[in-house]
């Protein structure tokens, strides 16, 4: 009897703890409306927190804004990733790669209908050899991009790289296949052809001034984290529905019905 009461009390404590975590997560998400309100139910948030082991701390990797998804698209409606290697804040290559893969997956899920590629804007302001990632990490990133995300990159614009970067590039470019190599564009603010190239792919009214546009680039880590959290919850909710069609655009598709578990042994007679 005592053991049963103890187990019941533990179960109630767990429920109270989870309810508190759900409330905490809802506070972090802030006011919701439209589709966000539809997706982010208490049940969905609970499933999300279980999957994340009840831990939704903001990753250290993204604190400086060294890589993020832009709030605008290019002229063809492609998702844009902004990278600022001069704001590198960690030295562990594996964590850098994990952070980039997370953003790649999010960028793909946010592609416009019928669009399968993304654009990269890379700002070299503040870049030095000391903030640069290692050759090994660069090689691993190229391997992942070319072998696991083939044809996902439309173009990569390297904006105003310093002369010292040329030595690093001479090594890295040999890791690229010819097709990927052709997608890398060096852009310099004082060259007319560079300005024409940027304006042909981006609306200068939306393009941040760091890339020759007229907009202001402001990275708010808390705001960006809330946006990513909302999208993670929506994605988890989407894949959590059973017996629902799971047709996604941009090369992703899911099962229309959750498969039944395979019996490992015949049922007892």
For the residues 238-244, what does the mean pLDDT come to?
A: 46
The tokens of 173 are what?
A: 């470019």
Does residue 213 share a domain with residue 102?
A: yes
Identify which has the larger pLDDT, 173 or 109: 173
Q: What percent of the chain has pLDDT over 90?
A: 35
Quickly tell me which residue has 């890791």 as its tokens: 175
Mean pLDDT of 118-122: 96
* Band (157; pLDDT cuts 50, 70, 90): very high
Q: Is the pLDDT of residue 117 over 90?
A: yes
Is 96 in the same domain as 109? Answer: yes
- 3-state SS assignment for residue 257: coil
Secondary structure element (H or E) that encloses residue 43, with its range: helix 42-51
Residue-level pLDDT at 106: 84
Please tell me whether residues 72 and 184 are part of one structural domain.
Answer: yes
**pLDDT band per the 50, 70, 90 thresholds, residue 226:** confident
pLDDT band at 119 (very low <50, low <70, confident <90, very high): very high
Q: What are all long-range contacts of 216-219, with beta carbons under 8 Å and residues at least 24 apart? A: 217/82, 219/65, 219/68
Please count the structural domains in the chain: 2
Averaged pLDDT of the chain: 76
pLDDT at 244: 38
pLDDT of residue 199: 95
Residues 72-111 have pLDDT tens digits of 999 999 999 999 988 888 777 788 888 888 889 888 888 8
Residue 174 reports pLDDT greater than 90: yes
Query: Residue 76 is part of a domain; what is its CATH number?
Result: 3.40.525.10
In 3D space, the residue among 108, 27, 103 whose CA is nearest the CA of residue 68 turns out to be 103
Tell me: do 146 and 57 sit in the same domain. no
**Of 184, 205, 219, nearest in space to 68 by CA:** 219
SS3 122: strand
> Is the distance from CB of 120 to CB of 81 less than 8 angstroms?
yes
Same domain for 126 and 174?
Answer: yes
Residues of the domain holding 51: 36-64+221-238
What's the pLDDT at 2?
47
Do 40 and 124 fall within a single domain?
Answer: no
């Amino acid at each position: 009897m005592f053991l049963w009461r103890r187990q019941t009390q533990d179960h109630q404590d767990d429920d109270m703890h989870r309810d508190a975590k759900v409330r905490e997560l809802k506070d972090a998400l802030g006011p919701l409306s439209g589709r966000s309100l539809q997706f982010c139910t208490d049940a969905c948030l609970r499933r999300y927190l279980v999957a994340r082991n009840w831990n939704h701390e903001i990753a250290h990797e993204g604190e400086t804004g060294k890589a993020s998804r832009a709030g605008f698209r290019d002229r063809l409606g492609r998702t844009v990733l902004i990278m600022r290697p001069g704001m590198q804040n960690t030295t562990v290559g594996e964590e850098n790669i994990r952070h980039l893969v997370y953003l790649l997956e999010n960028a793909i899920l946010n592609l416009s209908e019928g669009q399968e590629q993304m654009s990269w804007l890379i700002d070299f302001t503040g870049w030095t050899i000391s903030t640069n990632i290692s050759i090994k990490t660069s090689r691993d990133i190229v391997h992942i991009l070319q072998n696991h995300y083939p044809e996902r990159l439309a173009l990569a614009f390297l904006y105003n790289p310093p002369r010292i970067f040329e030595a690093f590039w001479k090594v890295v470019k040999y890791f690229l296949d010819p097709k990927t190599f052709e997608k890398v564009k060096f852009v310099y603010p004082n060259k007319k052809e560079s300005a024409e190239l940027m304006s042909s792919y981006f609306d200068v009214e939306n393009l941040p001034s760091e890339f020759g546009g007229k907009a202001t680039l402001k990275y708010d880590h808390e705001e960006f984290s809330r946006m990513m959290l909302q999208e993670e919850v929506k994605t988890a909710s989407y894949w959590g529905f059973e017996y629902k069609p799971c047709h996604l655009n941009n090369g992703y598709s899911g099962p229309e019905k959750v498969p039944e578990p395979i019996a490992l042994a015949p049922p007892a007679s």
